[in-house]
Amino acid sequence: MSFNLENIISIRDFKKSDIEYILNLAEEMEPVARSEKVCHKKDGKLLGVMFYEPSTRTRLSFETAMKRLGGDVVGFNQKQGTSVQKGEVLYDTAQIISQYADAIVLRHDMAGAARFVSQNVDVPVINAGDGPGQHPTQTLLDLYTMKRQFGDINNLKIAIVGDLKYGRTVHSLVYALAMFKVEIIFIAPTELQMPHEILEDLNKLNCTYKIESTLLDNIDDVDVIYMTRIQKERFPDPKEYKKVKGKYTLNAKNMQDKKAILMHPLPRVDEISFDVDKLDNAMYFKQAFNGVPVRMALLDSIIK
């Protein structure tokens, strides 16, 4: 098996074999990610971190991944205190960082920013989220979490719950899942259901799915519940939000006899109550950990 991408921009650039390559390599990285082994593979290498938007999880996960590989990091995690504040354009800033670092990881609020940068610099670029666009490394760690738990992504029955209309995370995820033989249930209030274009794409890809609007009576026999948060701002009428909110909430009581693992890209608001955290099938913090070996695998593959 081999990995043929130079940049990590969109999950749709991945062939199934690329995904499988990364998931396998991530598993090899786990002892280092868990700090049981010391690694010097990227000794002397630098990852350039360009974060134009706040992030803890994604940024620290990349920094952790690079440092666990023996490398180090230079960059910025907000516009303040940088030339960006002085009005420097993305193009110029990226040119500069590419002179310093062996690869760039970029988060930006503009869709297409990562592709644009990758076409203009001489080092590999990883998209860490470009506004409403893509967040491919999140998708890979989601897939890795499923594979780690069940040994295989094929034949899984997966409920995807919450804001399916605006959530870039779930959009990327379903395109990736469509490469495998899975059954998906989209569970969302009508106004936040999966966009029609995406459903049409899934039809073309022969992906099996169902549309549902209630949570509790649709998750009894699924293997994975993938929760996302529903943002207040999406509802013009606060009463509408309140009504919806309660129906898409999980707690220890309604999770008690579910066999499914429970995933969430985090941060959560209140769609998963704290009493769920101690259950064996609460997988969201483990999922956050999984970002480290997956990003180690990606960094290892693109930084020569």
Write down the least CB distance from residue 9 to its own copies, Å.
Answer: 22
Nearer to its own copies, 81 or 236 (CB): 81
What is the Cα–Cα distance from 172 to 59, expressed in whole angstroms?
Answer: 19
Considering only residues 49 through 88, tell me which ones interact with its own copies, judged by CB under 8 A: 51, 54-57, 60-61, 63-64, 67-68, 70, 72, 74-78, 80-88
Count the Cβ atoms, other than its own, within 10 Å of residue 272: 22
Q: Is 96 in the site for its own copies (CB under 8 A)?
A: yes
The torsion angles phi and psi of 14, rounded to 5 degrees, stand at -85, 135
The terminus-to-terminus CA distance of the chain in angstroms comes to 17
Alpha helices in the chain (DSSP H): 16-33, 57-68, 90-100, 113-118, 136-150, 168-177, 196-204, 238-247, 252-255, 284-302
Supply the minimum distance, in Å, between the C-beta of residue 88 and its own copies: 4
CB of 90 to its own copies, least distance (A): 12
- Of 297, 304, 302, nearest in space to 118 by CA: 302
Candidate list 26, 32, 105, 159; residue touching its own copies; CB under 8 A: 32
**Site size toward its own copies, by CB under 8 A:** 57
**24 or 78: whose CB is closer to its own copies?**
78
Residue span binding its own copies (CB under 8 A) among the ranges 6-14, 97-105, 125-133, 216-224: 97-105
Q: Which is nearer to its own copies, 10 or 98 (CB)?
A: 98
Q: Residue 298: which of 14, 53, 12 has the closest Cα?
A: 14
Q: Which stretch binds its own copies (CB under 8 A): 161-169, 212-220, 238-246, 261-269?
A: 261-269
Cβ closest to its own copies, residue 124 vs residue 179: 124
Compare residues 64 and 249 and give the one whose CB is closer to its own copies: 64
CA–CA gap between residue 213 and residue 225 (Å, rounded): 14
Q: Is 107 annotated as a binding residue?
A: yes
Hey, which residues are catalytic here?
A: 57-58, 86, 107, 135
Do strands 183-187 and 157-161 pair parallel, antiparallel, or not at all (unpaired)?
A: parallel
The residue among 34, 20, 35 whose CA lies nearest residue 301 is 20
Q: How many CB atoms lie within 10 A of CB 191?
A: 12
Helix and strand element counts for the chain (H, E): 10, 9
Q: Is 101 in the site for its own copies (CB under 8 A)?
A: yes
The yes or no reply on residue 188 touching its own copies (CB under 8 A) is no
Site map (CB under 8 A) of its own copies, residues 208-247, x = contact: ----------------------------------------
Burial of 69 (0-12, 13-18, 19+ CB in 10 A): buried
Query: In the bound complex, what is the minimum distance in angstroms from residue 113's beta carbon to its own copies?
Result: 16
Q: How far is the CB of 74 from its own copies (least distance, A)?
A: 5
CA distance 134 to 174: 12
DSSP state letter for 125: E
**Does the footprint of its own copies cover residue 119 (CB under 8 A)?**
no
Residue ranges at the known binding site for carbamoyl phosphate: 57-58, 107, 135, 138, 266-267
Footprint on this chain of its own copies (rule: CB under 8 A): 32, 35, 37-39, 43-46, 51, 54-57, 60-61, 63-64, 67-68, 70, 72, 74-78, 80-88, 91-93, 95-97, 99-102, 266-269, 274, 277, 285-286, 288-289, 292
